[in-house]
Amino acid sequence: MNINEIKENQQLVARTGNEAVAEAMRQIKPDVVAAYPITPATEIVQIFSQFVADGLVLTEFVPVESEHSAMSACIGASAAGARTMTGTSSQGLALMTEMLYIASGLRLPIVMAVVNRSLSSPINIHGDHADTMSVRDSGWIQIYSENSQEAYDNLIQAIRIAENPKLRLPVMVTTDGFIISHCLEAMKIFPDEAVEKFVGIYKPERYLLDVDHPYTLGAMDLQDYYFEHRHQIAEAMKIAPKIIQEVAASFAENFGRKYDLIETYQCSDAEYIIVAIGSVCGTTKEVIDNLRKSGEKVGLLKIRVFRPFPAGEIVTALRSAKAIAILDRADANNGFSSGPLFADTTSALYLAGLRIPILAYVYGLGGRDITTEHIIQVYEELKKLSGKQPENFVRYINLRE
């Protein structure tokens, strides 16, 4: 099918984020899915398990007793040569942490759908980015989604990214808990055969069940080679941006929707730029459109890929700004700054020799609402900086004092 045929045959449907992700998994047809249910990601594997039961896919679905076991099973399946996927959230991702490092260290191209949810304690089932931000340095590529359409598109691209033989790194594709995972949105789904052709057939170069070419996987490294093997992950992350962009270009060529490491929205002449990740970007775009009608020069820098961190692209996008607001949906709890997005963005700007006034915001922890009025408040506070970096630069949006 060519791009015009795909566009003509794509379906306009109403889907929640979880349904969109499960639909993408069905079209990808993984060999193995191992998972354990956890709110708000439960629906993903629940819906997919129904696809398996109905015979729509031939996937080996492995129900396990914990998220730690889920990732362990995925590691075994991927090492054996299977295209492997899973999904989780919050405490489940935290329980997987030990195995996340093993998956990346073994260079296994597992793809995981993560529905962002706050970490306990106190117990909370609603969305923030504490879970994925806590494992941002585990060697997994992280792709964040603004809406259900992006979640669907990102998951399809993630397979091609992870399985690239030059890269072979696991990928997590995230959606904001409940805001995306459970909200119904209009989106377009591609024909099954088009997705199947795009992701291709997985043909690993080496795998444990290839008895004609045996090799050792997961052997102990001491002082002799551990350093070198872990460094290979860092080197892979350096080439990951190019591969992610190549896959995005192929996706655009096949399906007509364009993606990159970042998205700049109304930034070409913007004097004030808001930097954000995830679903809040949709709210921010609405505010920017209205402010632009009043002649305000404000823009949005959306970070789609957080790992590898697109430092060069971010510096280019922010270079001409008079002031910047960085919105984190996770708190670093370090007594100094706001969150991981702030830390990495300011590091990139500093090393580029830029001294632009910055306000660091923490918002939406535990699913706390952030509205258009809050984004307008951020913009108004940016305008008051007058070219000077304030001493008290960390702000908390919609926090009860």
What pLDDT is attached to residue 39? 98
What pLDDT is attached to residue 58? 98
Q: What is the largest CA-CA distance in the chain?
A: 69
What pLDDT is attached to residue 300? 99
Q: Across-strand partners of 359? A: 325
Average pLDDT of the segment spanning 6-21: 96
Which amino acid makes up residue 265? Y
Which amino acid makes up residue 216? T
Q: pLDDT (tens digit, 9 = 90+) per residue, 341-359?
A: 999 999 999 999 999 999 9
Domains of the chain: 3-255 (3.40.50.970), 262-396 (3.40.50.920)
Query: Residue 1's pLDDT band (boundaries 50, 70, 90)?
Result: confident
Average pLDDT of the segment spanning 224-250: 98
Helix (H) or strand (E) holding 359: strand 358-362
pLDDT of 401 strictly over 90? no
What pLDDT is attached to residue 386? 82
Structure tokens at 161: 């990214």
Q: pLDDT (tens digit, 9 = 90+) per residue, 201-234?
A: 999 999 999 999 999 999 999 999 999 999 999 9
Burial class (CB in 10 A: 0-12, 13-18, 19+), 200: exposed
Query: Residue 7's pLDDT band (boundaries 50, 70, 90)?
Result: confident
Name the CA radius of gyration of the chain, rounded: 21
pLDDT of 90 strictly over 90? yes
Whole-angstrom CA distances from 223 to 277, 285, 331, 395 are 39, 50, 35, 44
What pLDDT is attached to residue 176? 99
Q: pLDDT (tens digit, 9 = 90+) per residue, 141-165?
A: 999 999 999 999 999 999 999 999 9
This prediction has a pTM of 0.98
Q: What percent of the chain has pLDDT over 90?
A: 97
Report the alpha-carbon distance of residue 273 to residue 129 in Å, rounded: 21
Report the alpha-carbon distance of residue 97 to residue 114 in Å, rounded: 13
Average pLDDT of the segment spanning 310-321: 99
Per DSSP, the residues of 175-228 read EETTTTTS--EEEEE--HHHHHHHH-----S--TT-TTS----S----TTTHHH
What pLDDT is attached to residue 150? 99
Listed residue (177, 148, 176, 145) closest to 158, CA to CA: 145
Report the alpha-carbon distance of residue 248 to residue 7 in Å, rounded: 17
Could you tell me if residue 168 is left (phi over 0), alpha (psi between -120 and 50 degrees) or otherwise beta?
Answer: left
DSSP code for 119: P
Report the alpha-carbon distance of residue 217 to residue 369 in Å, rounded: 46
